[in-house]
Amino acid sequence: MHDVVVIGGGPAGNKAASLLAGEYDVLVIEEHEAPGRPVQCTGLISDEVIMLSGVRPTILNELYGANIFFPNGRSIEIRSKERKAVLIDRYEMDTMMAAKAEDAGAKHQYSTWYGSHSITDGAVTVETDKGDIKATMIIGADGHNSRTAGTISDNRPAEYVRGVQADIRHRADDQEMINIRIGSGTAPGFFSWEIPFGELTRVGLCTSWEYGPPAEYLKRLLKKTGLDGCEVVSRYSGRIPIGGQRRTYADRLLLIGDAACQVKPISGGGLQPAFRSAYALAETVTEAFDEDDFSEKALSVYGKRCAKDTGKELSRGYRLRKMFTSMSDPELNRIYDIADRESIRSILNDGSIDHPSDLILQMMRDPVTMLRLAPLLAKATVRSMR
């Protein structure tokens, strides 16, 4: 019998496995035949995420800022002297993290589908298509379609957004800047991105669920940016859970990553909160083994630790997201008029992609900005509560 079975061999699952494998017998089961497939991420991460991952993937490009385009076509340039993000090969990163978990002592079992689990006689029986696996406890790291999260009743994310992106054979003139576009005609309920890396550009967007599959919006975006005639080298799609699970723990079960809805609501990024939560998870697991108590009550401390660390950013970010999605294109254009000032640019230039809600709050502390934003924010707050 294993001490811990991790359901899902993505970055969140392998980070947890790496932290636990030195002390416990850890088995990672993954439904795909190899780590990192299919790719469903932009690959745009911060230096903090690289540090937390524990590996050094190849950097495809360094990014120093962004051009933010509003519905009326006007834009604000944010540029820093220090790099704000890097573009990496997510397949390589996931493969390296799986290898690091194995170096720590974890074992992997690929092409294995989790079906369900049950608790009897002080152990968990994990039912898979390759047979039953017994463990003291399990960790659900099985992504946005998490079946382990589904075993906790009434525990769905507040919402999903759908994403699609393509690598286009096109060399952008400015290799240090990302183009971000907002507006109902481009990416309703979210935003689009154009990320340069050498001879290719990664173009994609997300939309709120009610707007349907985003493929048509990507087609419009490529035409709008003049990239519709370029060769499509690769294409990816997926969905992102946003808004927080109600619980990330149950008897002999903890959730992490997309399965736990540990995703930043403003940007859709999940690696930073998942990696940080892995330390809270490891601490909770260690205490459970020390006390020989794997009850829901004992494991609930994990939820409290995550809330103390990343919970503020996630909950605050979701409130801001609800306000954003309630705004019309004319209201978003009004924000451009308010934010197009040097004092606001300096705040944005110094900001971190890992803490987007902090940037917005800093902008609101500017007296002039707050005075002009107040009517818009008041209306958006009321609408977001309906």
Whether 304 and 185 share a structural domain: no
Domain boundary among 318, 344, 373: 318
| Res 385: pLDDT | 56
Whether 177 and 298 share a structural domain: no
More confident call, 233 vs 347:
233
Interval 223-252 mean pLDDT: 92
Residue 50 lies in a domain: no
Whether 31 and 151 share a structural domain: yes
In Å, how far from its chain's centre is CA 123?
32
Domain residues for the domain of 220 are 58-88+158-241
Residue 186 reports pLDDT greater than 90: yes
320: region left, alpha or beta (phi > 0 left; psi from -120 to 50 alpha):
alpha
Residue 333 lies in a domain: yes
Residue 386 reports pLDDT greater than 60: no
Residue 260 lies in a domain: yes
Q: Give the max Cα distance, the chain.
A: 65
Q: Which of 165-174, 228-237, 333-342, 366-375 has the lowest mean pLDDT?
A: 366-375
Whether 281 and 378 share a structural domain: no
Interval 69-78 mean pLDDT: 92
The pTM for the full model equals 0.91
Residue 78 lies in a domain: yes
Interval 121-139 mean pLDDT: 96
Q: Which of 97-101, 107-111, 161-165, 371-375 has the lowest mean pLDDT?
A: 371-375
| Res 368: pLDDT | 63
Whether 345 and 356 share a structural domain: yes
- CA dist 370 and 350 (Å) reads 19
Q: What is the pLDDT of residues 212-237, one digit of tens each?
A: 999 999 999 999 999 999 999 999 88
Q: What CATH number does the domain containing 236 carry?
A: 3.30.9.10
Residue 90 reports pLDDT greater than 60: yes
Alpha helices (H) along the chain: 11-20, 47-53, 90-104, 215-224, 271-291, 296-299, 301-306, 312-325, 329-339, 342-349, 356-365, 367-384
Whether 233 and 188 share a structural domain: yes
The structural domain count of the chain equals: 3
Residue 48 lies in a domain: no
| Res 15: pLDDT | 98
Residue 243 reports pLDDT greater than 70: yes
Whether 163 and 211 share a structural domain: yes
| Res 344: pLDDT | 66
- CA dist 23 and 42 (Å) reads 34
Domain boundary among 318, 348, 367: 318
| Res 353: pLDDT | 67
| Res 323: pLDDT | 86
Residue 117 reports pLDDT greater than 70: yes
| Res 373: pLDDT | 62
Residue 148 lies in a domain: yes
Tell me if 205 sits within 8 A of 180, measured CB to CB.
no
Residue 356 lies in a domain: yes
Alpha helices (H) along 90-171: 90-104
More confident call, 124 vs 367:
124
Whether 65 and 177 share a structural domain: yes
Whether 115 and 22 share a structural domain: yes
Nearest 5°: the CA angle 161, 163, 168 is 165
Residue 357 reports pLDDT greater than 80: no
| Res 244: pLDDT | 73
Q: What CATH number does the domain containing 296 carry?
A: 3.50.50.60
| Res 370: pLDDT | 60
Whether 82 and 96 share a structural domain: no
Whether 237 and 249 share a structural domain: no
Interval 229-246 mean pLDDT: 89
Q: Which of 87-96, 118-127, 243-252, 352-361 has the lowest mean pLDDT?
A: 352-361
Positions of E strands within 21-156? 26-29, 44-45, 59-63, 65-69, 75-79, 85-88, 107-109, 114-120, 123-128, 131-140
Residue 294 lies in a domain: yes
Q: Which of 124-128, 241-245, 310-314 has the lowest mean pLDDT?
A: 241-245
Q: What is the pLDDT of residues 25-57, one digit of tens each?
A: 999 999 999 887 777 778 999 999 999 999 999
Strand partners, 202: 167, 195
Domain boundary among 220, 241, 262: 241
Whether 107 and 83 share a structural domain: no
Q: How high does pLDDT run on average in the chain?
A: 90
